[in-house]
């Protein structure tokens, strides 16, 4: 029995061509009584059947497409979800870095101002321009200011260290994520190529059902034999 692989489009196309040919058939006869052209009998062209090698290739392509259509979409979805998560984490990390850079610049300015204040205070003390009570108060105020700046420096260093640790962890996630994009894109491109190949080599092609079933059975037996050989090799390796 002959079967057509994805036959809808071809049926419509053949019908259209047959109609076009029947209107200009040179073998048409004229009925002298009514001067009408009789309807000619047009033989349908015999379809070119696929060879078993072509059937085998189409079965392999079709099975790859079906397998990837089942497995690939969830993998792509998971990668895209992780990508969005990493982008958000990276944006937050960059925001933290910007905040630390600003805080570091402010601290630097405040530390420099504190150093100038100390120099001025030392000059006043050395010059004997301050009364004892005034000197004690200025020294106390300076020490409080220095302690406040030092606390800010300590907090800044703690935050910077935490940022560095979090950034290192984020980089450890980003690196394999980016690396996974390469084989994933290769699979996506391979699936697209298989669809193109199936459309050009297999779609709308006619084949003998017996040939199709024979090739299918042959491939099933070959796979079973390969699986058995692989299992035997694994068992032998485990027994060593």
Instruction: Please report the pLDDT score of residue 40 as a whole number.
Output: 60
Residue 2 has pLDDT above 80, yes or no: no
Residue 155 has pLDDT above 60, yes or no: yes
Encoded tokens for 146: 């220095």
Report whether pLDDT(183) > 50.
Answer: yes
Angle between helices 52-126 and 132-201 in degrees, nearest 10: 170
Looking at residues 112-119, what average pLDDT do you find?
A: 93
On the question of pLDDT at 176 being above 50, the answer is: yes
Percent of the chain with pLDDT over 70: 82
How many helices, marked H, and strands, marked E, lie in the chain?
4, 4
Average pLDDT over residues 97-108: 96
Rounded to whole angstroms, the Cα distance separating 43 from 21 reads: 11
**Which pLDDT value is given to residue 214?**
96
pLDDT tier at 131 (50, 70, 90 boundaries)? confident
CB-neighbour burial class of residue 207 (10 A; exposed 0-12, middle 13-18, buried 19+): buried
Q: What average pLDDT does the chain have? A: 84
Q: What is the pTM of this model?
A: 0.67
Return the pLDDT at 236.
86
């Amino acid at each position: 029995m002959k079967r057509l692989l994805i036959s809808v489009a071809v049926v419509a196309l053949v019908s259209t061509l047959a109609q076009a040919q029947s209107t200009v058939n040179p073998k048409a006869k004229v009925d002298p009584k009514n001067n009408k052209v009789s309807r000619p009998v047009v033989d349908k062209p015999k379809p070119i059947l696929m060879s078993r090698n072509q059937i085998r290739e189409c079965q392999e392509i079709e099975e790859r497409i079906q397998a990837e259509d089942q497995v690939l979409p969830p993998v792509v979805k998971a990668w895209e979800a992780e990508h969005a998560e990493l982008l958000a984490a990276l944006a937050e990390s960059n925001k933290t870095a910007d905040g630390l850079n600003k805080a570091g610049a402010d601290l630097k300015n405040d530390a420099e101002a504190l150093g100038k204040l100390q120099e001025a205070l030392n000059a006043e003390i050395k010059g004997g321009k301050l009364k004892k009570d005034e000197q004690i108060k200025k020294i106390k105020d300076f020490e409080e200011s220095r302690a406040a700046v030092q606390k800010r420096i300590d907090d800044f260093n703690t935050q910077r260290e935490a940022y560095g640790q979090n950034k290192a962890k984020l980089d450890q996630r980003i690196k394999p994520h980016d690396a996974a994009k390469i084989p994933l894109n290769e699979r996506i491109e391979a699936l697209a190529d298989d669809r193109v190949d199936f459309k050009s080599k297999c779609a709308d092609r006619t084949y003998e059902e017996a040939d199709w079933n024979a090739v299918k059975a042959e491939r099933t037996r070959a796979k079973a034999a390969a699986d058995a050989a692989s299992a035997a090799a694994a068992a032998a390796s485990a027994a060593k």
